[in-house]
Amino acid sequence: MSEMREITYRQAVNEALAEELERDPNVFLMGEEVAEYNGAYKVSQGLLDRFGPKRIVDTPISENGFAGLGIGAAMVGLRPVIEFMTFSFSLVAFDQVVNNAPNMLTMSGGQFNIPITFRGPNGPAHQLGATHSHATECLFANVPGLKICTPATPRDAKGLLKTAIRDNNPVLVLESELLYSSKGMIEPEDHELLIPLGEAELKREGSDVTIVCYAQTVPIALAAAERLEEEGISAEIIDLRSIKPLDEQAIYDSIAKTHRVVICEQDRPYCGIGAEVCYRIQSSIFDQLDAPIARVSQEDVPMPYNEALEKAVLPSADKLIAAVQKVCYA
């Protein structure tokens, strides 16, 4: 059997796209600079040469237009993968993603499935300013009919994207610009990697506190856990991987062991993912808690451009460690 190999997050997304384009002639990729330029973040590198301009389609700067075109294509049996150069730009296509894609099946009386995947980097990157730094997961998680996944590792990026493309419903794959160059171990090229939506992963075992995280906050949590270990605090890390559907059982099983929980999210706190997870924990397993639930998130302000201010606004290992110490009464 072939051995595991190390690749970047960027390569993993590229492999997933190439494999699904090869497997199913109805799959095509469309977005700004995905073809001639090989993708704004070189995620689609080589795909135009391999699959041609009918399968790898460059678009104008017109998110509302090409998102709608993708939905129309899905209605007649194709499987579009729509890339947003950043999910901050998906707000221009909000009507298509929120109003049309998730509602077409119900409003057509079951006549039209919409097997479409919206993907691209989501959340703050580095000094992009307020309008290019949105974490959109809580906006889209509010919408019935949309599925949302948030891969944090190359393996998850590949397995979740392949699953999303094969799903008969609209799926948002929220990647991270800051993670594209990160590396991780993944199955050999001859292995079919599919990761189910709605299945969290135990990224690190621990006994004293559960850290629930996703996307960009996973490496933050792993770094914090290493430092907490030096203080004698053993942190268990649950990577949600999917925001919707949500793997509640994985969260509950961990808290039943540790009895303390800190939620670390890349979005702002008000009406956020962490608030929903908090509600579900307290309504389902309140008696398992030995301390109040803590949350670490962005500050509730527009993202500053200034580097020092941006750092102050974002979640960090230091902020997470302080929250863990508080719930552990350390």
By annotation, the residues acting in catalysis are: 63, 132
Sign of CA dihedral 31, 64, 149, 131: positive
Q: What gap in Å lies between CA 280 and CA 250, rounded to an integer? A: 12
Q: What angle do CA 67, 69, 72 make, to 5 degrees?
A: 115
Q: Residue 287 to residues 173, 210, 277, 330: CA-CA distances in angstroms?
A: 35, 15, 16, 21
Phi-psi region of 271 (alpha: psi -120 to 50; beta: other; left: phi over 0): left
Residue 84 corresponds to which amino acid? F
Residue 95 makes CB contacts below 8 A (sequence gap 6+) with 64
DSSP state of 319: H
CA atoms within 13 A on the CB side of 258: 29
Q: What gap in Å lies between CA 107 and CA 247, rounded to an integer? A: 28
List % helix, strand, coil for the chain (3-state, nearest 5). 40, 20, 40
Phi-psi region of 225 (alpha: psi -120 to 50; beta: other; left: phi over 0): alpha
- Of the candidates 181, 184, 103, 173, the one whose C-alpha atom is nearest the C-alpha of residue 143 is 103
What number of other Cβ atoms are within 10 A of residue 46's Cβ?
A: 13
Tokens for 161, please give them.
């994207």
Tokens for 297, please give them.
């998130």
For 168, the 3-state DSSP assignment is coil
